[in-house]
Chain A
Amino acid sequence: MDLFAFARRGAVFALLAAMLIGFSAAEPAFLGLANFMSVLQSVSVVAILAAGVTVSMSVGGFDLSVGAIAASAVMAAAYAMVVWKLGAVATVAIALAFGLGVGLVNAALVVVVGVPDLLATLAMNFLLTGLQLIPTAGRSIAPGLILPSGDTAKGAFDPAFLAIGRARVGGVAPVPVLIMLAVGVLVFVLTERTRIGRLLFVVGGNEIAARLAGARVERLKTLAYLISGGLAALGGVIVAARVGRGDISSGASLLLDSVAASLIGFAVLAARRPNVFGSIVGAIFVGVLLNGLTMLNVPYYTQDFVKGAVLVGALGLTYGLKPRRA
Chain B
Amino acid sequence: MNAVILQARAVAKRFGSTVALAGFDFELGPGEIVGLIGANGAGKSTFVNILSGALPADEGELTLNGRPYRPADSRAAIREGVIALHQSTDRIAAPDLSVAEALLLDRFADGRSSFFVSPRTIRAEAGRILAQSGFDLPLSLAFGEISAAGRQLVAIARALAANARVLILDEPTASLSAAESERLFDVVERLAARGIAVLYISHRTQDLRRLCHRVVVLRGGRQAHAASRPVDFSQALEAMIGRPLAGAHAAARHVEGPPVLEVVGLQTRPGAPRIDLAVRAGEVVAVTGPLGAGKSRLLLTLFGVNRALAGEARLDGRLWRPRDPADAIAHGVHMAGEDRRRTSFTPADWPGGAIAAAIALPHLKRWFPRGFLKASVERGHAEAAIRRLGIRAGGPDARLDTLSGGNQQKVVLARWQAVTPRLMLLDEPFQGVDVGARADIAAAIRAQAQVATLIATSDAEEALEVADRIYRLDADGLAPLHEQAA
Interface residues of A (CB under 8 A from B): 192-199, 201-202, 204-206, 208-216, 272-273, 326
Known: A205-B347, A326-B54. A214 touches B325 (CB 8 A): yes
CA of A50 to CA of B353 in the docked complex: distance in angstroms? 24
Cβ distance B176 to chain A, nearest Cβ, rounded Å? 23
When the two chains form their complex, are residues A212 and B325 in contact, meaning their CB atoms are under 8 A apart? yes
Chain A CB within 8 A of B94 CB? no
> Are A206 and B346 touching (Cβ within 8 A)?
yes
- Max chain B C-beta neighbours (<10 A), residue from A194, A202, A215: A202
A206-B347 in contact (CB<8A) = yes
A193 in contact with B346 given A202-B361, A205-B352, A213-B325 (CB within 8 Å): no
Contacts of B344 in A (CB 8 A): 209, 212-213
Q: Which of B15, B49, B350 contacts A201 (CB 8 A)?
A: B350
Q: How far is the CB of B50 from chain A (nearest CB, A)?
A: 10
Residues of A within 8 A of B328 (CB): 214
Compute how far the CA of A307 lies from the CA of B137 in the bound complex, rounded to whole angstroms: 54
Report whether A194 and B373 are in contact in the complex, using a CB–CB cutoff of 8 Å.
Answer: yes
Bound together, the chains give a CA A32 to CA B330 distance in angstroms of: 57
3 smallest CB-CB distances across A and B, nearest first, come from A205-B346, A214-B326, A201-B351
Binds A, one of B216-224, B231-239, B363-371, B446-454: B363-371
A-contact 0/1 string along B445-470, CB 8 Å cutoff: 00000000000000000000000000
- CB pair B373–A198 under 8 Å, yes or no, is yes
Interface residues of B in 337-362 (CB under 8 A from A): 337, 342-347, 349-353, 357, 361-362
- A-B contact number at CB 8 A: 85
| Least CB distance, B409 to chain A, in whole angstroms | 14
A212 with B343: CB separation less than 8 A? yes
Cβ contacts under 8 Å, B364 to chain A: 195, 198-199
For B, the interface residue count at a CB cutoff of 8 angstroms equals: 35
A202, B373: Cβ atoms closer than 8 Å: no
Report yes or no: A216 in contact with B326, Cβ–Cβ below 8 A: yes
Q: Known: A194-B371, A212-B335, A326-B55. Is A202-B342 also a contact (CB below 8 A)?
A: no
Interface membership of chain B positions 34-71, coded 1 if the CB is closer than 8 angstroms to chain A and 0 otherwise: 00000000000000010000110000000000000000
Contact of A194 with B352 at beta-carbon distance under 8 Å, contacts A211-B325, A212-B344, A326-B55 already known: no
Chain B 307-336, CB-CB to A under 8 Å as 1, else 0, gives 000000000000000001110111000010
Minimum CB–CB distance from B96 to chain A (whole Å) comes to 17
A208 touches B343 (CB 8 A): yes
Question: In the complex, which of the residues A204, A206, A208 has the most CB atoms of chain B within 10 Å of its own CB atom?
Answer: A206
In the assembled complex, the Cα of A193 lies from the Cα of B54 at a distance in Å of 40
Closest chain B residue to A195 by CB distance? B364
Q: Which residues of A contact B305 (CB under 8 A)?
A: 211-212
30 contacts between A and B (CB under 8 A): A193-B372, A195-B364, A198-B351, A198-B373, A199-B364, A201-B351, A201-B352, A202-B352, A205-B346, A205-B350, A205-B352, A206-B345, A208-B342, A208-B343, A209-B345, A209-B346, A210-B346, A211-B325, A212-B305, A212-B344, A213-B325, A213-B329, A213-B362, A213-B415, A216-B324, A272-B349, A273-B349, A273-B351, A326-B49, A326-B55
Contact B373 A209 (CB under 8 A): no
Question: A211-B325, A212-B343 are known contacts. Are A196 and B371 too (CB-CB below 8 A)?
Answer: yes
- Give complex CA distance A193, B368 in Å: 11
Give B400-412 as 1s and 0s: 1 = Cβ < 8 Å from A's Cβ atoms.
0000000000000
A152 to B193, CA, bound (A): 94
Residues of A within 8 A of B54 (CB): 326
B361 touches A213 (CB 8 A): yes
Q: State how many angstroms separate the Cβ of A33 from the closest Cβ of chain B.
A: 35
A220 to B345, CA, bound (A): 18
Choose from B49, B353, B362 the contact partner of A214 (Cβ within 8 Å).
B362
| CB–CB B352/A198 < 8 A | yes
Q: Are B368 and A195 interface neighbours, CB within 8 A?
A: yes
Complex interface: chain A residues within 8 A of B362 (CB): 213-214
Chain A residues within an 8 Å CB radius of B346: 201-202, 205-206, 209-210
Which residues of the partner chain A approach B324 to less than 8 Å between Cβ atoms? 211, 216
How far is A208 from B350 in the complex, measured between Cα atoms in Å?
15
Look across to chain A and name the residue whose beta carbon is closest to the beta carbon of B350: A205
Q: Which residues of B contact A198 (CB under 8 A)?
A: 351-352, 357, 361, 364, 373
Nearest chain A CB to B272 CB, angstrom units: 22
Known pairs A211-B325, A272-B349; list 16 more (Cβ under 8 Å): A194-B371, A194-B372, A195-B365, A197-B373, A201-B346, A202-B346, A202-B350, A202-B351, A202-B361, A206-B342, A209-B346, A211-B324, A213-B344, A214-B328, A216-B324, A273-B349
Q: Nearest Cβ in chain A — how far from B207, in angstroms? A: 27
A215's nearest neighbour on chain B, judged by CB, is B326
| CA A113 to CA B410, docked complex, whole Å | 38
The CA of A212 and the CA of B371, in the complex, are separated in Å by 20
Distance in angstroms from B299 CB to nearest chain A CB is 11
A211 to B330, CA, bound (A): 14
Shortest CB-to-CB span from A40 to chain B, Å, is 28
What residues of A have a CB within 8 angstroms of the CB of B15 in the complex? 326
Residues on B with C-beta less than 8 A from A326 are 15, 49, 54-55
